[in-house]
Structure 1
Amino acid sequence: MKTKILYSFVTACLCMTAVMASPSHNDRKDYLVHSEDTMDMPANGQVIGKVYDGDTGEPLIGATVRIEGMGSNFGTVTDNTGSYRLQGVPEGPQVLIFSFIGFDTVTKEVVVEPNKSVTVNIRLESGMEGMDEVTIVAFRKGQSRSINVQKEALNLKSVVSFEQIERFPDLNIAESIKRVPGVVTEPSRGEAESVMIRGLPSGMHTVTLNGQRMSATGEDRETDTRIIPTGMISSMEVIKSATAEMDADATSGSINLITTRPVGDDVFVRGQIATGYNAMSGRPQWLSSLTYSKRVGKLDFVLSGNYQKDNRATEDIRHDWDVRDFGNGNQDVLAGLRPSLYETERIRASVGTQLDYSFNERSSLYLRAVYNRFDEYELRNDARHGLDNGNYTAPGVSERARFEKVMREYNRITNLLNLNFGGQHDIGRSTLDYNLGYSRGTFNVPLREYYAFRHSERPNYSYDISNREFGSYEVTNNVDLNDPSKMDFRYYERRRDDILDTDMFATINLKTPYNLGTGKGFFKVGAKAWRKTKDRDMVEQRWTSYSGSEPLTFNNFFVPNNSALVGGRYPISGNMDWVAGKNFFNQNEANFGLDEDRTRASSDPNNFNAVEDIYAAYAMTDLKFGNLNLNLGLRAEQVDNYYRGNEVEFDRDGNYVRTVPVEVDDIGYFNLFPMMNARYELSKMTNIRFSYTETIVRPDFAALVPFRLINQDNEIITTGNPDLAPSNAQNIDVSFETYFKSVGFVSIGGFHKSFRNFIFNEVTVIQDPNSVYDGFMQVTPQNGESASITGVEIAWQQKLDFLPGFLKNFGVYTNYTYAVSKANVSEPEMRTVTLPLQPKHIFNAALQYDKGGFSAQLSYNWRETWLQEVGATTSLPSLEQNQEIYMDRFFQGFGQLDFSASQKITSQWNAFINLNNLTNSSHAHYFGNPIYPYRNSIHGWWGMAGLRFNL
């Protein structure tokens, strides 16, 4: 029934637009004015054409075109191909005015005849070419293009040009996007990984490439943007208020990456080559990229390639805490200390192409293909001091404790392929565009091996926690922790994981202009059919015994390493020879005892298949009355889901019995999403915006799949919930923005998001004396009552050329975000917390300097502490507050200081240098209160130097 309603909605919208449409044909001639008959035009005529950068021939997106003396209603902006179309232009002589921030305004006289089309193609010349500061001309031209798109957009968005991205020392999209207001990233091994917009999890925003959806690259709905090099794009948009033509799950926003488009007449060659150094690893970095564009007749094409190799290292120190009563009340004790060394190699490789064939200014076809590969190889070396495995005989003393070595070799490969074919054509007064798309994301773990060894003797420890960030220890008996022959085999573990996510979709849109009294606007309808499939095949095996003729110890694979972490505080007691270790296992597998029960419990529930079909249709209008621009729309989506997962059964003794496949295929829901965006022009350079939108948050696939996963090591059972409902969001945005002719702007805005059926993890404790899982925690995703987030965003970007003397060479790029949130959770009792991964304060600041051919920038990115993970228990008396605290885990606030500079060598070549993390900022977590530090990851600084060229 709901599908029939959606079908009727699509049919009605298309019929309404079809009535307005009639055929028209135009021929293309660049930079000329010409007319031709158009049989079905209204009594007045129309003016069409393109607007180009007069220097490069690149189409200008967002350029304003209007008729002199006819009011602000009679105007338009160029689309993403640089094209414009003015319909219903009165006959006779008219003066066209073309304007673009940072470019000289151009006027053009034309004669419009009834029922005829006039083509006017215009080249705009930069208003900055006479400046002595040759370096900033290209930078400010790039920014002017992005700022024009931002200023003229129907909805609220932040747009960043490639030139601005290049000024920061960021080499991938996740790193670069953290500079945008309201955006924060979660780091991994010193580099941004997950992206959060306005404090919401990464699965709550969409990622598109040239407006088309990109697949997820893991077990949930997140697209991993860190795999995409910045050299593969020409600009990026962070869209913060949706329109009806967008997918409705863009709740926190949408990241739209725009690849380099054909630039017109000239051959375009841009690239860079560089090398660098990482202070922590002591190893080099490499970077190269190349983009080539050319026009051949009516065919424009772009080819791009990028390669990065990054060698990193991280020193990671973990503390575990507990309490003991030594006769004077509970006191904090150090339960465990785990120094770890991570050595990481990351390789990014990307290639892309775009073909555009233009029949004329208003009719074209395109083919786009982009492939990204991210290959990460990592060695982890743990030294684990288990003080709580012994007896605490006095404060600072643990006797007969445990010492273990756990080492890991890990390789994960992420691939992301996007293919899109589409076109745009005029059909009478209407414009038709369509797209067929295919996106494929894979996450593959071909290698994840663990070797664990435990010392045969039990050390006595004396420890000192006066410095809680870096607790110290001393072995007080004769146990030699560095003797590999005393380290007995504990287990060998092997994991494999394959996740495949595919998206196939087709979209069609029809746009028709109309008049309403003195107002002018367009009516747009469209439909989308989209199928997403996700499959996971994962196995985790652990062998916990060895029955060979000779004892197996760490000595079999030991590689001496006398280094110690954090300035010599923590010895890591040797490295692992992984080639010898894996060969030994492969040759002697029959002598290793496999824990079949654990394998089944850890593997089978993680394997699933999911199919999600979405059928969408929308109708929207954009109407301009004087200085008021209204964008109103309604989107309808029907979702049908199929899931297959596994439940694993065990007997009362914990022995594996069987795996039961579970299928759910009757999950479906229908939603209507009203959208409103309003923009009021106080002047040509100042806007006030307001938007109200409704969106949806679909549960992660791993949460919906019916499964039961048992982690016996941590005594946690995780289950899926096929009955989990999506969360609905109401979003309000209000903002003020003013732009400068010198290419810059100031903006301030507020936002509020409220959620119904907010999804959280409910934690309960199993209380069944007859069950082997008595006392285990069970984690199940559930729909909560509500959650909300409210915030303010402030941004200022400007060249300070109004200042006297040398101060005019400076510029600023700065933004600040303040946000507060709340959500109800039930662990260990019903209470209100902030949303996880949502900091209250985010701050970006960059001081820029440009003089002649020299450019430099000092940038700082800072975010406040956020809630990383909600705890399930209360424990540990806070010594400062003398009361129990919740064992929530927090990621402590941190800032990073970076520097970049470039020097122009010739008109086509310049040298550059990037330096990151100059203050050696680390990433620290704590439990409940900073006096209980959990882990501290130290990454050092790194940098790169090289050459850029633009031929």
Structure 2
Amino acid sequence: MESYCLNKPLTKTSKITMKLKLLYSLLTTIVMITTVNAERSLFGFSSGGGMEGPFIYKVANGQVIGKVFDGDTGEPLIGATVRVQGLGSNHGTVTDNTGSYRLQGIPEGPQVLIFSFIGFETLTRNVEVEPNKSVTVNVRLDSGMEGMEEVTIVAFRKGQSRSINVQKEALNMKSVISYEQMERFPDLNIAESIKRVPGVVTEPARGEAESVMIRGLPSGMHTVTLNGQRMSATGDDRETDTRIIPTGMISSMEVIKSATADMDADATSGSINLITTRPVGDEVFVRGQIATGYNAMSGRPQWLSSLTYSKRVGKLDFVVSGNYQKDNRATEDIRHDWDVRDFGNGNQDVLAGLRPSLYETERIRASIGTQLDYSISERSSLYLRAVYNRFDEYELRNDARHGIDDGNFTAPGVSERARFEKVMREYNRITNLINLNFGGQNDIGKSTLDYNMGYSRGTFNVPLREYYAFRHSERPDYSYDISNRNFGEYQVTNDVNLNDPSKMGFRYYERRRDDIVDTDMFATINLRTPYNLGSGKGFFKVGAKAWRKTKDRDMLEQRWTSYSGTEPLTFENFFVPNSAGLIGGRYPIYGDIDWESGKRFFNQNESSFGLDVDRTRASSDPNNFSAVEDIYAAYAMTDLKFGNLNLNLGLRGEQVENFYSGNEVEFDSNGNYVRTIPVEADNIGYFNMFPMMNVRYEINKMTNLRFAYTETIVRPDFAALVPFRLINQDNEIITTGNPDLNPSNAQNIDVAFESYFQSVGFVSIGGFYKRFRNFIFNEVTMIQDPGSVYDGFMQVTPQNGDGASIVGVEIAWQQKLSFLPGILKDFGVYSNYTYAVSEANVSEPEFRTVTLPLQPKHIFNAALQFDKGGFSAQLSYNWRDTWLHEVGASTNLPSIEQNQEIFMDRFFQGFSQLDFNASQKITGNWNAFINLNNLTNSSHIHYFGRPIYPYRNSFHGWWGMMGLRFNL
């Protein structure tokens, strides 16, 4: 891959010149191809009959167009195969996202069309093809499952067949899951559902999937699209938070693992394409569900409702969807801190601190979407799509913090005059995601032109984040036992009563506000032109995209550290008794806070509280920035079919220009605020060319061999480029930006073998390899500056590594076991396994090789399905291996490690989750269902360096839901 990185700022003149040259080349290409479609010459060859040059052959005039529908529901069938009998595999095509197909270059005279779709009966139609004319043939395919009486099962297998057909016929490598398949898992949002796909893993937060990683790469390395159009990021990085999107808002999702030239080049680990429900033609379509549930940890209910309605009015098709979820959760969490002390016989491990916490969380998801399709003619249409998703999370956190190392360690397991604190938080964060797309498709001669204008806006808003902290006025003596290192035990050995709120004096009140806005505006145009090459048939596709992304953050963090009122302020002022013990009663939390009373008191007496100005500037100013990224892209690609061989070759070029402003905050050696310096940078431009190749060889109609070679890019997060310095004094962590970060370039190789079954299912095995230059990772170093207030702090800085690579294998098997005897034929399997190894070179605090962060070595999914007499059930198991969570500094923790220095990298220990889902047909198209999640109450464990140094262990309990579904 050729990469031209401009290390010096572009001048305004050169920037404009580059844009004009790029736009001129795009327009020239489009005009040239369009001229061909008006029956003019291509590359100097006439459009007359026969071969007019050494390579390019004229496309014959005969044409057949039409649509393929599900004979029962009227839904368009995507990925159905249409071919002409007796003319070889080159005279065939597959239906697009609207169920439409177009066969060109068909010899005149009587022909037989063959329509096929996995899980449906094959259909033939006779047609008379005439020169210079187009014949329309619309068909409805009957399900091959009509012998089955169980409506629920038929619907599920039809959904599977649609997704499997799309996967089988795709130009590139992808995994496709239908809405019906997602219903078989008890997952209520996209992030939860997508973890069932081969090569995909999620990072949980409070018992629910949050970030999605494809093939072990960070979430910012994949793109998220809605019906093929880009969705905005929803935080201060490049990630689109898919957990905010309920599964009820889509009809299927694709995980695309090898890029094509018409895709954005930053889909390095892949792309998640969410497909909304499409209009179903003449049929009225109504689908919905209503349910309630229970969370065992919180003891509170859950609620769910969704509805989708579709209808045709004249030439206008429309779909309207809505979804509402309310989820009440709780998490019990214990954190350990570790250190070493010498008691006369060499260093020994000591328990530096314990922090039991209770999180009570309420999550509300609300979504609404609509799609309007207007048919101008059989091959020309316009569409308008609008989707709005809102995620509202409210959370209370209650910490009891035992600062054992704030005292004096007098003997192993003994600390005198330590500290005890209570820190409580009330938190509300709201994420909004809006997507608007307007576009259309038109035929120009024998070519097809499609175009789109889009707007996407993601916001992350924190209107409420308050902290109250209190510290015990007396210093407790502790004895502790770490024979069970995952659950350290403690006792207070003097007469200090930790449960006396009158002795808990005010330490600080903190308020944080945050507002992040990420906006994308883009326009795309694509032109697809068919051609013949010898005995092969294919198409050229050229296109361009102009895209502007803006991101702004406005953040304020204030802490008041003193109170000068006439009466002392203690925890007793707002105390609410709570004698519950966390994690099996091991850890009391010593009371709750009345937040309404606490906030009201602060608001009425704010003048009596002393604001820590230094900390406000240190925590707020570096987080505020504004960034603009302009991308101008053009591509050309061809898809050519020779017999059983399908070649997809393309080249994409992208010019990127960044503009950003931020703040650098200066402090003196004592940590006192000096000044805030605005920092601006612009015209940081770079240009890249990205070759793309996808090869598919059909061993037979049901078996594929695939190979792909692609080159992609990983762009640094906007915030990482700003030269900020953010000081977290509580956790003793300093985070800095790095304006010298370079994009990371990736070379990607994929291979796969796929075999599909007409009875709906498939087996596949594939391998992948990715190699990175300038891989970006967060480097953690220990600050050693004796005399400075920051001595011993950890500093986290994004860096370009020397290089990184990842190699892996993915195996999947999905099938109903109908070939087995007796009751066994009613079972089915859904399973996949991913094995991946990686390495990255880091240089601080010394040169060494580590695995890529967030990349587990093993991922395993298994589901056993049972379908009988209208009853359907599935037991699902998801497991992933330990991963490196964060690269850390080195330290000595010698009592277990025999005085060997180890690196304090933080790891997230492997865990599993067992879920259950069942449904029963009641009558007609009504079904009752039940979902049960995390039946074994699996916990999430982090540790430093080795499992013997646990950092935190979180428990979430089990939860479930039951309700009704209907499909009318």
User: Does TM, scored on the shorter chain, surpass 0.5?
Assistant: yes
- Tell me, in whole angstroms, the C-alpha distance in 2 between the residues paired with 1:652 and 1:250: 44
> In structure 2, which of residues 716, 730, 736 is the aligned counterpart of residue 719 of structure 1?
736
Equivalent pairs: percent with the same residue? 86
Contact 2:152 2:927 in 1 (8 A): no
Alignment CA distance shift 1:762-1:467 (3 Å): closer
104-113 or 644-653, larger mean C-alpha shift? 644-653
Query: 1:312 and 1:763, CA in 2 relative to 1: closer, same or farther beyond 3 A?
Result: closer
Distance 1:513 1:676 in 2: 19
1:901-940 correspondence runs (5 A): 901-940=918-957
CA distance in 1, matches of 2:18, 2:60: 43
Preserved CA contact (<8 Å) 2:782 2:889: no
Q: C-alpha displacement at 1:852, in angstroms?
A: 1.3
Aligned twin of 2:880? 863
Which residue of structure 1 lines up, in the alignment, with residue 453 of structure 2? 436
Q: State the Cα distance separating 1:6 from its structure 2 match.
A: 2.8
Does 2:695 match 1:695? no
Provide the secondary structure at the position in 2 that maps to 1:468.
Answer: coil
2:17 corresponds to 1:17: no
CA, structure 1 residues 268+382, in 2 after alignment: closer, same or farther (shift >3 Å)? same
Query: Which of 71, 74, 77 is residue 88 of structure 2 equivalent to?
Result: 71
Cα distance in 2 for residues equivalent to 1:772 and 1:566: 36
Q: 1:217 and 2:227 equivalent?
A: no
Q: Which residue of 2 aligns with 1:583?
A: 600
Partner of residue 371 from structure 2, selected from 350, 354, 365: 354
Which residue of 666, 674, 678 maps to 1:661? 678
Q: What does the per-residue CA deviation read over 1:324-375, in whole Å, with 9 as the maximum and x for residues that have no partner?
A: 1212222111110000000000000000000001122211100000000000
Contact kept, 8 Å, 1:827 with 1:870, in 2: the verdict is no
1:339 to 322, 338, 356: 356
Is residue 878–residue 929 contact of structure 1 (8 Å, CA) maintained in 2? no
Any idea what the Cα deviations from partners look like across 1:914-938, whole Å, max 9, x if unmatched?
0000011010111111111110000
Shift of 1:468: 0.9
* SS of the residue 1:879 aligns to: helix
**Residue 750 (str. 1) matches residue 759 (str. 2):** no
- Kindly provide the amino acid, as one letter, of the partner of residue 22 in structure 1: A
Alpha-carbon distance, 1:777 to partner: 4.4
- After superposition, give the CA deviation of every residue in 1:611-634 in whole Å (9 maximum; x if it has no partner): 000000000000000000000000
Q: Write out per-residue CA displacement over residues 170-223 of structure 1, whole angstroms, 9 at most, x where no aligned residue.
A: 000000000000000000000000000000000000000000000000000000
Residues 1-41 of structure 1, C-alpha deviation per residue, up to 9 Å, x if partnerless? 543553344234313421321299xxxxxxxxxxxxxxxx9
Matched residue, 1:468: 485
Residue 875 of structure 1, CA deviation: 2.7
Take 1:408 and 1:480, find their aligned partners in 2: how far apart are those partners? 23
Partner of 2:98: 81
* Aligned equivalent of 2:832: 815
Secondary structure in structure 2 of the residue aligned to 1:90: coil
Give the conservation status (yes or no) of the 8 Å contact 2:114–2:123: yes
Q: Deviations over 1:497-525 (max 9, x none)?
A: 00000000000000000000000000000
In structure 1, the partner of 2:48 is: none
Aligned to 1:6: 22
Counterpart-to-counterpart distance in 2, 1:237 and 1:810:
26
Pick from 257, 263, 276: which aligns with 1:246?
A: 263
Query: How far, CA to CA, are the matches of 1:43 and 1:669 in structure 2?
Result: 43
| CA pair 23-256 structure 1, distance change in 2 beyond 3 A | farther
Q: Kindly indicate whether the alpha-carbon contact (under 8 Å) linking 1:465 and 1:471 is maintained by their aligned counterparts in 2.
A: yes
Q: Which residue of 2 aligns with 1:58?
A: 75
**Structure 1 residues 642-653: aligned runs within 5 Å:** 642-653=659-670
Task: Tell me whether 1:165 sits opposite 2:154 in the alignment.
Answer: no
Give the whole-Å Cα distance in 1 for the aligned partners of 2:446 and 2:710: 29
What residue ranges of structure 2 are gaps of 5+ in the alignment? 1-16, 41-57
Tell me whether 1:560 sits opposite 2:577 in the alignment: yes
Q: What are the superposed Cα offsets for residues 297-325 of structure 1, whole Å, 9 maximum, x if unpaired?
A: 11100000000000000000001111112
Q: Counterpart of 1:415?
A: 432
How many angstroms does 1:767 deviate by?
Answer: 5.8
Shift of 1:944: 0.3
Query: For residue 100 of structure 1, what is the aligned residue in structure 2?
Result: 117
Q: CA deviation at 1:826?
A: 2.6
2:695 equivalent to 1:678: yes
Residue in structure 2 matched with residue 734 of structure 1 by the alignment: 751
**In structure 2, distance between residues paired with 1:762 and 1:322:** 22
Of 760, 768, 786, which aligns to 2:803? 786
Counterpart secondary structure, 1:218: coil
Q: Give the conservation status (yes or no) of the 8 Å contact 1:13–1:619.
A: no
| Alpha-carbon shift at residue 274 of structure 1 (Å) | 0.3
Of 546, 550, 565, the residue aligned with 2:563 is 546
Which residue does the alignment assign to 1:322? Answer: 339
Mapping 1:98-497, distance limit 5 Å: 98-497=115-514
Residue 32 of structure 1 is matched in structure 2 by none
Over 3 Å counting, the alpha-carbon distance change for 1:590 and 1:23 in structure 2 is farther
Inter-partner Cα distance in structure 1 for 2:790 and 2:506:
27
Are 2:803 and 2:841, in contact at CA under 8 Å, matched by a contact in 1?
yes
Structure 2 letter corresponding to 1:309: K
Contact 1:664 / 1:722 at 8 angstroms: preserved in 2? no
SS in 2 for 1:175: helix
Quick check: 1:942 aligned with 2:959?
Answer: yes
Matched letter for residue 950 of structure 1: N
Size of the aligned set, in residue pairs, is: 935
Say whether the 8 Å CA contact 2:707–2:750 is kept in structure 1: yes
The 3 A distance-change label for structure 1 pair 679 and 878 is farther
Q: How far did 1:718 drift? A: 2.5
| TM-score when normalising by structure 1 | 0.97
Alignment CA distance shift 1:649-1:414 (3 Å): same
Which residue pairs with 1:841 in the alignment?
858
**What amino acid is the match of 1:256?**
N
Contact 1:342 1:380 in 2 (8 A): yes
- Deviation of 1:649 (Å): 1.9
Moved more, 759-768 or 473-482: 759-768
Task: After superposition, give the CA deviation of every residue in 1:577-616 in whole Å (9 maximum; x if it has no partner).
Answer: 0001101111111111100011001100100000000000
Q: Deviations over 1:394-452 (max 9, x none)?
A: 11111111000000000000000000000011111000000000000000000000000
Question: Residue 692 of structure 2 contacts residue 711 of structure 2 at CA under 8 Å; is this kept in 1?
Answer: yes
Alpha-carbon separation, structure 2, partners of 1:73 and 1:61: 19
Supply the AA of the counterpart residue of 2:945.
G
d(CA) in 1 for partners of 2:248 and 2:261?
31
Q: Are the equivalent residues in 1 in contact too, given 2:879–2:911 (CA < 8 A)?
A: yes
**Cα distance per residue 1:756-792 (max 9 Å; x no partner):** 1111234455566686655654433222210000000
User: RMSD of the TM alignment (CA)?
Assistant: 1.4
Summarize the Cα distance change of 1:768–1:189 in structure 2 as closer, same or farther, 3 Å threshold: closer
For residue 765 of structure 2, what is the amino acid of its counterpart?
A: I
Per the alignment, residue 892 of structure 1 pairs with: 909
Secondary structure of 2:599's counterpart equals helix
Cα distance between partner residues in 2 of 1:244 and 1:675: 6
SS at match of 2:572: helix
**1:788 and 1:821 in contact (8 A); partners too:** yes
Q: Which runs of 5+ in 1 are unaligned?
A: 25-40
TM-score of the pair, normalised by structure 2: 0.95
User: Which residue of the partner structure matches residue 532 of structure 2?
Assistant: 515
Answering whether residue 819 of structure 2 is matched by residue 802 of structure 1, we say: yes
For residue 84 of structure 2, what is the amino acid of its counterpart? I
- Give the partner amino acid of 1:704: L
Aligned residue for 2:216, secondary structure, equals coil
